[in-house]
Amino acid sequence: MAAQDDTRGDTEDDGTGVGERDWLAEYDPRAYTPVAVTVDVVALTLRAGELHVLLVERGERPYRGCWALPGGFLRAGEEDLPGAAVRELAEETGLQGTLEAAAALSRIHLEQLGSYGAPDRDPRMHVVSVAYLAFAPDLPDPQAGTDAAAAAWHPVSALDLTAPRTAGPPADTHGGGVGARPGIRLAFDHAVILADGLDRARAKIEYSPLATAFLQHDFTIPELRAVYEAVWGERLHAGNFHRKVLSVPGFVESTGATTERGGTRGGPRARTYHSGDARLLHPPLLRPSHEDDIR
Amino acid sequence: MAAQDDTRGDTEDDGTGVGERDWLAEYDPRAYTPVAVTVDVVALTLRAGELHVLLVERGERPYRGCWALPGGFLRAGEEDLPGAAVRELAEETGLQGTLEAAAALSRIHLEQLGSYGAPDRDPRMHVVSVAYLAFAPDLPDPQAGTDAAAAAWHPVSALDLTAPRTAGPPADTHGGGVGARPGIRLAFDHAVILADGLDRARAKIEYSPLATAFLQHDFTIPELRAVYEAVWGERLHAGNFHRKVLSVPGFVESTGATTERGGTRGGPRARTYHSGDARLLHPPLLRPSHEDDIR
DNA sequence: ACAATAGTGTCTTTAAGACATTATTTC
DNA sequence: GAAATAATGTCTTAAAGACACTATTGT
């Protein structure tokens, strides 16, 4: 009924007839089967024109040696959900303390992705994980000094995102190993979470200007196009893309300047822009349809 | 890092140097400050052409006498999140047991809305609530026999959705009461959750055929238009709407039949349709823009 | 008869996409 | 000079929205 209902984990409404008034005083949360709450982050960035995701290597069982999404316990009573997400992100990327770290973090877009709570998704106990999605500009390599065994940006193309769905941890499958697997397997149901995050990201940049969150403060239209091409995994028509971006009010604003040099393989210098004040793109930048995935 | 990280609620990485290996064996979940997990449901339906939401009246403090979203504890180890949502919905609507109840429940669309976890959103303890959004056809009035003090469908227009944001429960504000308030206030942060649910619903019916989930199996185009008008809160052009719906592949399929009678105020009998097999609408049914909410 | 409504036709405007073209830069 | 690329122009097609119109029903 409410954030916390009168109905408790055990069914006390069938006959016991307990007068529930003032049970607040005698309420002892430790008397019930506990559920743990964690916050995991799907942090995406662009490196060398390819989409990367931040992963950490597990040092403990289960899934020891497997790569997993950065995340951790919600600190009860101390922080809210987005607060926990930025904390985990800062810890795992090593972006802590320094001024430039704060500046880099401030440019990161963060939004809630969804929650995952199947009873057997973690073999130890029932864990509900609230997943967040982050769009980051190209960051330095994570400093592994803080927490996990190792943290690194991985190209999403190198990961196996076929959902194992068959919950429960397979024995100790080490990082690479066995046969000629299509890619790295992630721990727990993190492949599902990451796939959902990618879906969200692909849809999000259609209607929002958040593709610019992958870039530095000033950028060119071709750089912006590279973001769309990397996230959507498709080549886009340069001319049409250029005109379309400029036609959306508030998407980008010209700086009046151009880049210092042309492209590495020739071509004129591009004008630079920065993100405008639009929160939604009207009209949106729709993905190429392909007429296949209609349903 | 994972569904459950090596980092625990307390910070043990600063100096203690505890070897974390095999702490699984000695792991005692009850040793940490607990977080409760509840599942709340924003259940929407159409009654007499107006959008309604299912609410229950709280019988206990805090917010005793206030209306709240139906919901309750996640049963640890027993159910997943959508399972808890349908259970709460069935309990609170009284749609339990009977065959027709199961049939009615099967027609309900359910999707995850988001999670809410501010530390002070419930004064008793830190509660993370996973909210679900449900689209239901017109259901009978809830049977209050089961759980809460009372459950009823409320027109959303009768509710005060101005987010109090100032978390924490105001003293015992009874149901209506004090001055000439714009509408009923909801318990906890449920006004925020409901507002998010309405936003999601308004956006969802643009791109998905889920507006049909508000109707019986067979429906007419004008009935479908009434759904859009109620959810969007706007009158739509009957002629254009009709043609647009029929032009979207897989949205609706003709039954070949018509209604028995014309409209209550005259007009020809309408043809009947049922939902098609499209999962996404191409092209979508976009809301009227109004050029105001561009950003 | 009259009012209301289902359903269709037509026209204008907007935008998407294919394609062509010019100018500028690197190698 | 050759190749690549930024940026702009033009044309075709699809779709949204405004409006008009016919046909059918209830009061």
To the nearest whole angstrom, how far is the Cα of B116 from the nearest Cα of chain A? 7
User: Which residue in B60, B112, B295 is closest to A280 by CB distance?
Assistant: B295
Residues 233-292 of B with CB under 7 A from strand C: 238-240, 242-243, 246, 258, 262-263, 265-271
Residues 6+ apart with CB under 8 A from A22: B61
- Cβ of A2 and B126 within 8 Å? no
**Helices B238-247 and B221-232: angle between axes, nearest 10 degrees:** 110
To the nearest whole angstrom, how far is the Cα of A222 from the nearest Cα of chain B? 25
- Cβ-based contacts of B148 with chain A (< 8 Å): 1, 6
Residue A82 near residue A202 (C-beta atoms within 8 A): no
Assign A140 a pLDDT band (cuts: 50, 70, 90). confident
Residue A138 near residue A47 (C-beta atoms within 8 A): yes
User: What is the CB neighbour count within 10 angstroms for residue B252?
Assistant: 21
Residues 6+ apart with CB under 8 A from A174: A65, A66
Assign A26 a pLDDT band (cuts: 50, 70, 90). very low
Domain with CATH 1.10.10.10 in chain B: 208-275
- Cβ of A60 and B119 within 8 Å? no
Write the pLDDT tens digit of every residue in A213-267: 999 999 999 999 999 999 999 999 999 999 999 999 999 999 999 999 888 888 8
Write the pLDDT tens digit of every residue in A240-252: 999 999 999 999 9
Return the higher-pLDDT residue of A290 and B59. Answer: B59
Lowest model confidence (mean pLDDT) among A24-38, A107-121, A270-284: A24-38
* Architecture of the structural domain at A36-201: Alpha-Beta Complex (3.90)
Q: What share of chain A is helix, strand, coil (3-state, %, to 5)?
A: 25, 20, 55
Given a cut of 70, the residues of chain B with pLDDT beneath it are: 1-32, 97, 143-149, 163-181, 291-295
Please give the model's pTM, rounded to 2 decimal places: 0.86
Percent pLDDT > 70 in chain B is 78
- Cβ of B68 and A2 within 8 Å? yes
Write the pLDDT tens digit of every residue in A53-78: 999 999 888 899 999 999 999 999 99
Q: Note whether A6 contacts B: Cβ–Cβ < 8 A.
A: yes
Name residues 192-231 of chain A within 8 A of B (Cβ).
Answer: none
- Cβ of B124 and A280 within 8 Å? no
Token pair listed for A128: 């509900």
Residues 6+ apart with CB under 8 A from A264: none
Residues 6+ apart with CB under 8 A from A120: A167, A168
Q: Which residue of B has its CA nearest to A188?
A: B3
- Cβ-based contacts of B7 with chain A (< 8 Å): 72-73, 91, 147
Exposure b/e, A105-120, CB count within 10 A at least 16 = b? bebbbbbbbbbbbbbe
| Shortest CA to C1' contact from A281: nucleotide | C15
- Cβ of B6 and A30 within 8 Å? no
Query: How many Cβ pairs within 8 Å bridge chains A and B?
Result: 252
Query: Domain A208-275's class?
Result: mainly alpha
CA nearest B246: which of B214, B271, B269, B268? Answer: B271
Domain with CATH 3.90.79.10 in chain A: 36-201
| Shortest CA to C1' contact from B258: nucleotide | C6
